[in-house]
Amino acid sequence: MDLFAKTEGQHNYDIIRENGIYPYFHALTSGQNTVVQMEGKRTIMIGSNNYLGLTSEPEVIEAGIEGLKKYGTGCSGSRFLNGTLDIHQKLEEELAKFLHKEAVMTFSTGFQSNLGIISGIVGRCDYILCDKENHASIYDGCRLSYGKMIRYEHNNMEDLEKKIKEIPESAGILIVTDGVFSMSGEICNLPEIVRIAKKYGARVMVDDAHGLGVLGKHGRGTAEYFGLEDEVDIYMGTFSKSLASLGGYMASTKKVVDYVKHTSRPYIFSASITPASVASARKALEILDKHPERVVALKNVGDYMRQKLDEYGVKYIPSTTPIISIYTYEDEKAFMACKLLLERGVYVNPVISPATPVGKALIRTSYSATHKKEELDEAAKKIKEVLDILDVK
C-alpha cells in the first residue's frame, strides 16, 4: 500500500471546511494583545495564554531586540555542545532563585520540556502515574520513556491511590500532573498527591505551564498556591505563556537536573533557545518578580469575567484561574460558536476530542492581566448572544 494513501479521500477537516466552520489557522496581522488585528479586523483576544500581558510590554520587546543585536539570530547547536550562551545560564540561575529550587535547565520549547524530562528520568523498570487530562506533551513524554504509564481518573485521588498500591515496591514511581489543567482551568489536588506520594515513596512532577505567573502570592505557581514548594520534586514550565517568549524549563535539585542534562535526548540533540527568546524571558521574569500585583490583576480579570457570565446565566466549568471554558458538547457547535464569535469580533478556541472527552466539546476562553472591563463586557455579551443562537444551555 502507498504510504500516502491515507491522505486521499475526504477527512473530517475537509468536511468542516466545506461547511464553512473551519476554526484553525486564523492569521493575526498584529502582535498578541487584548485586542488584535485578525485577518484585517479588530478582534478581542480571549483565546491566548498571554496571562500577564507581557508580549506587548516595551521592556520585554526591547530586551529581545538587544539580545538579537548582541548574540545574533540563533545558537547553531545544542546546549550540550556549542549552543550554550552566558544568558542561558543566567536565565537558569534567575529562574532557580525565583522558584526556590536548587537548579534549572532550559529546553527549546515547553512541549519538548515534558518529552525531555520524563524520558530522561524514567527508566525501563519505573512507573508513571498520569492524570487522564494531562497535556499531550506529558503523554508523549511517557511514550518516549521506557517506563510503564498508568492513567488515573482526572483529579480522582481515590483512583490514584488504588493504582499506586498495585505497583511493585521495588519500582521507581513518578506521579505527573498538570498544575492548572489547560482545557478546564481546574487546579490539581496537589495536597493529596503529595500525601499519596510520601506514603508510597513516589516522586511528584507538576507541569506548571499554566500555573507560573497565575497562581501563588508571587506567581510561583501551583506549589506556592498550596504552600507545598518543598514537596514537589520536579517543576516543568514554559516561557510561551506568562513569560511572553518561547522555551521551557525543568526545576529540581542539582543532582536531578545534572542527571537529566546527560540523559535527555530531546535536550542533547536539539538547538538551544534563540538569544532574543532568552533575553525576552529574562526580562519578563524580572517584571513578574518585581511586580506580583500583575498576578492579582490577572485573578481580578478572571473573577470579573465569571461575574459577567453569571449575570448572563452562562454556564462554565468552575475554576478560579484565567481559563474559563464553556461546554457546547457537540463538536459542530464548538466550531460554529467560534465562527459566529469571530464574525462578531471575539476570538475563542474550540476544543474537541481527544483534547476533551467525546461529547464534551467546549469553547476555551483565557484572559490577560491587561484586559479592560469594557473589553470583557463586550466579549461576555457576545458569548451570550452566540450561545443563545446555538441553543447551548
Residues identified as active-site: 182, 210, 241
Give φ, ψ of 51 to 5 degrees.
Answer: -60, -40
- In degrees, rounded to 5, the angle at the alpha carbon of residue 299 between the alpha carbons of residues 92 and 59 is 45
Give φ, ψ of 358 to 5 degrees.
Answer: -55, 135
Block residue for cell numbers 489543567 = 181
Which cell is 280 given?
525576552
d(CA 256, CA 259): 5
Biggest distance spanned by C-alpha atoms of the chain:
60
> Can you name the residues that pair with 204 across neighbouring β-strands?
175
**64: how many CB neighbours lie within 10 A of its CB?**
23
Which cell is 243 given?
513569560
d(CA 223, CA 178): 11
Cis link prior to 350 (omega < 30° from 0)?
Answer: no
Give φ, ψ of 206 to 5 degrees.
Answer: -115, 125
Rounded to an integer, what is the distance from CA 86 to the centroid of its chain?
27
Instruction: Give Cα separations from 31 to 28, 80, 171 (angstroms).
Output: 7, 33, 48
Which cell is 47 given?
483565546
Tell me which residue of 207, 189, 208 sits closest to 197, measured CA to CA: 189
Block residue for cell numbers 464534551 = 360
H or E stretch covering 252: strand 248-252
Q: Is the dihedral of CA 68, 71, 75, 80 positive or negative?
A: negative
Which cell is 344 given?
462578531
